[in-house]
Amino acid sequence: MTKKTEVIDDQEVKVEGSGANSSVEQPEDAKRTSKLGRGIYLLPNLFTTASLFSGFYAIVAGMDGHFDNAAIAIFVSMVLDGLDGRVARMTNTQSAFGAEYDSLVDMVAFGVAPALVAFSLNLQSLGNLGWIATFIYVAGAALRLARFNTQIDSVDKRFFIGLPSPSAAALVAGFVWVTHSYEQSQFLTLFTMLVVAFAGVMMVSNVLYHSFKEFDMKKRVPFTAVLIIVLVFAVIALEPALVLLAGFFIYALSGPFNQFILRKK
């Protein structure tokens, strides 16, 4: 059997044998294209696309001055982002395409959208300080997602390194949701800048945050646990903006607080 090399579309292709029985070894790029040509899994990517829609809608709503709708859209995107991965695992439809698509959507929904909504609320009035704080958040989200993707198989699953981008987005969105109806004074604008910059910096920090992945949702739990969950939903329903902001603000502070306690010990 002889081997020879042919050039097809500027790529070298190894051909084994000769005549009708010869076989062609495709390059890696051709293999990836062939896999993509078979299509993608619809169900999990449908949730991811819905998350992208919610993030994009938040940007448009913020530009139009509908800040409550923008904040709600970001929280909806969080829920959809949590569902797409679980649906993929439940239906055994995980794919490299889905993972990459999800990461890009997260950048829009949890990186660009919260930053632009906060900028549209009052940060634009600060001039250079406003857009610099906004950029710190966007850059922090991009770096956080890139680091997460490269370390996903090498870190302790019980912890996140840095504030997760959905939690950072929830912190900013909750703050906008609570304060958009107030007079946008200079003090409130400066405080918004601090919240946005704080969220951006914490995303790229080395502070550990609990991931809560050690909780197995498939195990049996006491009946009282169901009552507690119902109570939590009831409290959120009473004042959703304030309760969600308080919850994610406490979570954002829990990382530095735990780090401080550990150093004291």
Asked whether the predicted pLDDT for residue 32 surpasses 60, the reply is no
pLDDT grade, residue 114 (50/70/90)?
very high
> Residue 255's domain is classified under what CATH number?
1.20.120.1760
Asked if residue 177 and residue 59 are part of one domain, the reply reads: yes
Whether residues 99 and 21 fall in one domain? no
Q: Which domain holds residue 22?
A: 3-35
* Amino acid letter, residue 133: A
- Please check whether residues 141 and 229 belong to one and the same domain: yes
47 has pLDDT over 60: yes
215 and 120 share one domain? yes
| pLDDT per residue as tens digits for the range 211-235 | 877 666 667 777 787 888 889 889 8
- Could you tell me if 58 and 26 lie in one domain? no
Q: Say whether both 58 and 94 belong to one domain.
A: yes
End-to-end CA distance of the chain: 70
Same domain, 175 and 76: yes
Within its chain, how far is the Cα of 233 from the centroid? 23
The overall average pLDDT reported for the chain is 84
Same domain? 46 vs 133 = yes
Residues 15 and 59 in one domain: no
Same domain, 22 and 125: no
Residues 185 and 154 in one domain: yes
Cα 253 to Cα 45, 92, 94, 155, 179, distances in angstroms:
33, 36, 33, 21, 20
Question: What is the pTM assigned to this prediction?
Answer: 0.81
- Structural domain count, the chain: 2
pLDDT digits (tens, 9 = 90+) for 79-102: 999 888 888 888 888 888 888 999
Distance (Å, whole) CA 199 – CA 228: 29
Distance from C-alpha of 231 to C-alpha of 226, rounded to nearest angstrom: 9
> In terms of domains, do 28 and 141 share one?
no
